[in-house]
Chains A and B, each alone.
Chain A
Amino acid sequence: MIQINNLSKSFKNNTVLKDISLKINQGEVVALIGPSGSGKSTLLRHVNGLETPSNGQVQVDGVNIFESDKNLQDIRSSVGMVFQHFNLFPHMNVLQNVSYAPIKVRKLSKELAEKKALELIEKVGLSDHIKKNPAQLSGGQKQRVAIARALAMEPKIMLFDEPTSALDPEMVKEVLDVIKSLAHTGVTMLIVTHEMNFAKEVADRIIFLEEGILLEDSNPVEFFNNPKTDRAKEFLAKIL
């Protein structure tokens, strides 16, 4: 479903991704891990075209997403993204945040979009907060709204870019629980994370990047118990 071919990315003289090739199947849950600055987030941001490759291709369902603006636009409405800093719309309340894109992009009626939004808001446990503005919510609540907002577009693929890195420690669990509840429901998930226990528990596949190079691609048991590369061993030794 997602096919990345020989993807490279440079910002001016700084090469962030080097010749990455990768195939991800429908419904798979993939955790991208590695040290800061290894290119995990940049790789993730190529899947919905927030970054444009310097070289190589990204295909989603056989469609080269960078071939035309139309392809990009189509892909974006079927790929949901959750950001480290939530990026909720501060001038809209919770319900409006979640129902905005379904109304304006998918052209659903307001009634239908709000009905679906309310279901999703309930799913992430925030039914008591629908009329609140983002400023009145805690970090964990904001991120759960952001997840509901992405899900409202009924995406085939969900991208999570360090979804818990900006949270206070006591709020990490509530967000991870929501993400876990989505895993293995048919939606393909790519998660950039520093939460190793979470990755171990929820992911089907671990991809380890360092300095823009894809060093390991294996299942969690193998990766955490028996990493192939020295770089991965060092990394795990430091953080576990």
Chain B
Amino acid sequence: MNLDFSGVIPSIPFILEGIKVTLAIVSMSILLGFVLGSILAVFKISDIKVLTFFASAYTSIFRGTPLILQLMIIYYGLPQTFGIDISEFPAAILALGLNSAAYVSEIIRAGIQAVDKGQSEAAIALGVPKRLMLLDIIFPQAIRNILPALINEFTSLTKESAIVTVIGASDVMRRAYMVGSDTYLYMESLMIAGVFYYVLVSLLSFAGKKLEVKLQG
């Protein structure tokens, strides 16, 4: 075995510069995924057939095709077909966010529907309107099921964000690869990227566990 970290040490600041890009992409996709996913979840539990159909079709398509395909359609396919120019940063956020929304909507829907049916019946019997029932009775109980699964989803989004490297977004992954090809020290530079992802994901999981304990208490 022959590892030479001294060769990549000068490039570490360059790789770490990508943290900003990775964190920006991850946090904005999480935000997009959460907002859109919440809206889709409301569609799924609504009584309006068109909305339920739209939301389940959306989920089915985004969960049934590879993320990297969705990313490439947005980055290469859309400009070709519609003539709109989209740069790598928004394309990455759009792909990850739209994809995550499908999973988030399922997590929220399942969390809401896992609340005992007796709870909504009791609220209905008291004459509580549907909007208040969701807000005051169902949602506070659903959040216990939803939050841990959401943290999980966002942890995996953090890892998957590394695929934006294929459209040339200069995130940690991309920069590690560039350093590797510059110095021929692939193993060393990729390991630095690996450590970064591992620490980031561990921090997220740790926060998730804390939150879970707090919710159970």
Chain A interfacial positions (CB closer than 8 Å to B)? 48-50, 73, 76-77, 79-81, 83, 85-91, 100-101, 104-105, 149-150, 153
> What residues of chain B lie closer than 8 Å to A48, measured between beta carbons?
125
Q: Say yes or no: B118 contacts A104, CB within 8 Å.
A: no
In the complex, B127 has a CB within 8 A of chain A? yes
Closest-CB distance, B141 to chain A (whole angstroms): 6
Indicate the size class of the contact surface on chain B.
10 to 19
A50 and B136 contacting across the interface, CB-CB below 8 Å: no
Q: Is the interface of B mostly helix, strand, loop or mixed?
A: helix
Residues in chain B within 8 A of chain A (CB atoms) = 116, 118-119, 121-122, 124-129, 132, 136-137, 140-141
CB distance from B196 to the nearest CB of A (A): 39
A105 to B137, CA, bound (A): 13
On whether A87 and B118 interact (CB within 8 A), knowing A100-B136, A104-B132, A104-B136, the answer reads yes
Q: B132 to chain A: which residues have CB within 8 Å?
A: 104
- Looking at chain A's contact residues, is the secondary structure mostly helix, strand, loop, or mixed? loop
**Would you mind naming 13 contact pairs between A and B with Cβ atoms under 8 Å apart?**
A73-B129, A76-B126, A79-B125, A83-B118, A83-B122, A87-B119, A89-B137, A90-B141, A91-B141, A100-B136, A101-B126, A105-B127, A153-B126
Residues in A whose Cβ lies below 8 Å from that of B127: 73, 76-77, 101, 105, 153
- A residues in contact with B119, CB < 8 Å: 87, 89
Collect the chain A residues with CB atoms within 8 Å of residue B141's CB: 90-91
Separation of A177 and B119 alpha carbons in the complex (Å): 25
